[in-house]
Amino acid sequence: MSGALAGRTAVVTGGGRGIGRATAVALVRAGVTRVALIARSASQLEETAGEVRRAGGEPVILAADLSDIDGIAGLVQGLGDVDILINNAGTVAPLGPTVGLAPNDVLDAFRLNSVAPVVLAGRLAPGMIERGWGRVVNVSSGAAANAANAIGSGVYAATKSALEAHTVAFAAELAGTGVTVNAYRPGIVDTAMQEWVREQDPDAIGRELHGRFVDSHEAGRLITPE
């Protein structure tokens, strides 16, 4: 297959399911040859790997928790040349009013949603710069820009706002190198994360937040990961 993606290698975090799985398969269908899949669940990664193979690509499975920041360098060290980084892994927890949130839960959310994407990009970008071509895509959320949608999920919104701020700064930093950095807000997607929120106790996370997720699902407003 010809085109800008032909023969490229990509890394997709959160590649075990949902948006990550759909993205990995779509990349292969667009010409990417090899896709490194990162997520915590090895069984889910195996399922995605099967879909990648059926699409004609070569999967690499890396089962790891990206909130373990110190382990990121070793995780990607043996991948060789990586041309595309899709920072998709994330958590919506902790949910609920800011008053009463556990500090460690807040830190965990920032590690996974904000710090890990920055560290991964910092590790993989030098090779992209050297080769004069690369793509970094950070999966964000409309909650970063919509105060009404952030009620009850303020930590999630804050992590995505931080990610978007770094996206803009890193893009400016790499201007002219052939490496682009962009953030993408996919909208309301029918994922396991959405289902998890609907299963939470409305009194624990806030009835407004819970009701918004339930209403979107019942109204059929969710789009597929694909």
Token couple for 215: 């209403």
Q: Which of 67, 141, 153, 160 is catalytic?
A: 160
Q: What is the DSSP string of the chain?
A: --STTTT-EEEEETTTSHHHHHHHHHHHHTT--EEEEEES-HHHHHHHHHHHHHTT-EEEEEE--TT-GGGHHHHHGGG----EEEE------S-S-STT--HHHHHHHHIIIIIHHHHHHHHHHHHHHHHT-EEEEEE--GGGT-HHHHTT-HHHHHHHHHHHHHHHHHHHHTTTTTEEEEEE---SB--HHHHHHHTS-HHHH-HHHHHHHHHHHHTT-PBP--
Q: Which of 67, 114, 140, 153 is catalytic?
A: 140
Smallest Cα–Cα separation from 13: which of 114, 81, 95, 108? Answer: 114
Active site includes 184? no
Active site includes 156? yes
Q: Which of 114, 141, 153, 156 is catalytic?
A: 156
Active site includes 161? no
Q: How far apart are CA 223 and CA 221, in angstroms?
A: 7
Residues labelled catalytic: 140, 156, 160
